[in-house]
Structure 1
Amino acid sequence: MFRVTIVVRADDIDTNGHVRGPAYLAYADHARWSCVQAAGIDPAELTTRRIGPVNLETTVRFHHELRRGEVEVSCVFHWGTGKTSRVVQEFRVPDGTLVAEVSSVSGLLDLDRRRLLPDPGAYWQELASHPELLGLAPKTP
């Protein structure tokens, strides 16, 4: 499981003193991209191959208020046999309290044909030097 710690920015706080809804989505995106890069994938390589990740659905479940300070965001990828995958992300404050969960369904888009690619995990595995961070089997020598 990949985790990244994010410092809550002052402009992410609403008038009630807690983190605004759109900030959760931004934090989730940041954590997913950090995970992809930690797995050894260069976003420029995606562009070179004319493929790109697309988000098809996002659900946010709020459990507790998130205020100023730090939040740890995890990423757990779930791969199936179709054209999509799911990423489940937990948001936890330093004492371990779960404050929110973000669940996303995504795919890899062929940027020329504008169609989802089959078996996106195979593409991520090929590109990653550490595919295990993406929930994929490590490469065999």
Structure 2
Amino acid sequence: MYTKEFEVRWSDVDANRHLRNSAYIDFMSHTRMSFFLEKGFGQVQLAKMNLGPVALHEHMYYFKEVFPGKPVRVSLQLKGISEDGMFFEFLHNFYDTDGRNLARCEMLGAWIDLSTRKLTQLPEDLFHFLEGLDHTHDFRILTKEDTRKYGQTPVDLALQDK
């Protein structure tokens, strides 16, 4: 399973002196992009394919506080992918140096064509790359219904909020 270690810096802490919510999101995003870069699909390669990843939602579950002074490890696993690769779901877990699970996040995302700004399926090589990522025990093939909330796609909901 892919993991990335992070030092919890002073700037990662909120007024309660523990890891702030947005730092969890930053660490997860950095973990994902580090994995992609290490496997040959960094920003330059994605730009050549005219693709960009979009986070549709992230559900965080906090178990223990994280404080500065000790590193945290963030894991990355594939929880689901649609048949065309347009939609993907990642699972991230946060661990302390003793291996205790501190937090978990389920993240649903999609790929957009950076020219048309519309959702798009993945090229075959990138699809097979994602399929090769370590799977969760409850991995599934995502359907359109899995990406809908209240009968609407996440994109529809975002447009309503404007």
Give the structure-1-normalised TM-score: 0.83
Q: Does the Cα contact within 8 Å between 1:5 and 1:70 map onto a contact in 2?
A: yes
Q: Secondary structure at the match of 2:58?
A: strand
Q: CA deviation at 1:121?
A: 7.5
Who is 1:94 aligned against?
Answer: 97
Q: CA deviation at 1:28?
A: 0.6
Q: Does the Cα contact within 8 Å between 2:5 and 2:72 map onto a contact in 1?
A: yes
1:104 aligns with 2:111: no
Aligned letter for 2:9?
R
Q: CA deviation at 1:135?
A: 4.1
Gaps of 5+ in 1: 137-141
Who is 1:9 aligned against?
Answer: 9
1:61 aligns with 2:64: no
Q: CA deviation at 1:10?
A: 1.0
How many matched pairs? 132
Q: Deviations over 1:105-137 (max 9, x none)?
A: 11110111221112x3735246x5x973x349x
1:70 aligns with 2:79: no
Inter-partner Cα distance in structure 2 for 1:51 and 1:121 = 10
Q: Does the Cα contact within 8 Å between 2:90 and 2:107 map onto a contact in 1?
A: yes
Q: CA deviation at 1:14?
A: 2.0
Identity of aligned residues (%): 24
Who is 1:139 aligned against?
Answer: none
Equivalent residue for 2:88, pick from 80, 85, 88:
85
Who is 2:117 aligned against?
Answer: 114
Change (3 A) 1:121 1:135: farther
Greater relative contact order structure (CA < 8 Å, 6+ sep): 1
Q: Secondary structure at the match of 1:101?
A: strand
Q: Does the Cα contact within 8 Å between 2:5 and 2:71 map onto a contact in 1?
A: yes
Q: Secondary structure at the match of 2:16?
A: coil
Q: Secondary structure at the match of 1:26?
A: helix
What are the within-5 Å matches in structure 2 for residues 14-29 of structure 1? 14-29=14-29
Change (3 A) 1:121 1:28: farther
Give the structure-2-normalised TM-score: 0.73
Q: Does the Cα contact within 8 Å between 2:33 and 2:42 map onto a contact in 1?
A: no
Inter-partner Cα distance in structure 2 for 1:79 and 1:39 = 18
